[in-house]
Structure 1
Amino acid sequence: MANVKTCPMCGQRIATYKHKLNKVLISALFKLRDHGGKGKIDNLGLTHSEFANMQKLRYFGLVDKEGCVYILNELGRKFLENKAKVPAEVYTKHGQLIGTSNMVYANQVDAYVQVKEEWKEQSAMA
């Protein structure tokens, strides 16, 4: 893998990950807002995908976390209202933010989400 390097001193693998802001993350953000802007992840009515990816919202600066409770912050609220931009992509290493891409409003995210047409059709049939 091109994004994985090995430390020459200790041999530990070091990977850089790219995370894209997508509909799943934005949907989870709306559910948090609709829950009063604060709540435990298992009480928000999230889908499996939203639940599994909720922590990524922190990389984009949209939520804060206190213990087990996620909190929609001011940037997150403004982003949902299309009054603030956040990166379309973020890059992390060891769970720490190390880089970002171009900035987008919430209503521009569709332009950055590639969904194959047959997947759309299959989901409509389900």
Structure 2
Amino acid sequence: MASTEPPSLAVTIHERCRIAPPSEGGAEQVSLPLVFFDMVWLHFHPIQRLIFYQFPCANEHFMETLVPNIKKSLSQTLKHFLPLAGNLIYPLESGNPEFRYIPGDSVSVGIAESNEASDFHYLTGDEPEMLTGFTL
């Protein structure tokens, strides 16, 4: 186990936005009822993904070229998985939970940059580390 002091893990938030499926499909409301095996997961917090990329080019290039492509790709993918852009609801009429997508629903995306190169290597290294103070 590494015995070094953990870095401060400071980041600069460049953007927070919501990504929706493309509207040209004209998708109506879509519901996906949960099945018995899904019920176990209702007691856990929603999954939040944190993805790290080491990108050795200029920040402007990343923000102007790659970020728009990532957003477009996510939007196009959500077109095929509409309930993932929706919300978990409990309809009063049935009482059974379901994922429901209504046109205009979206997912939250944040773009942030580590202030220090050592932060990236600390978080993505293959050594077990104590991540005290690391929260989303």
**TM-score category (smaller protein):** under 0.3
Give the TM-score of the pair, scaled to structure 1: 0.23
Give the TM-score of the pair, scaled to structure 2: 0.22
Q: Which has the higher helix share?
A: 1
The structure with the largest alpha-carbon Rg is 2
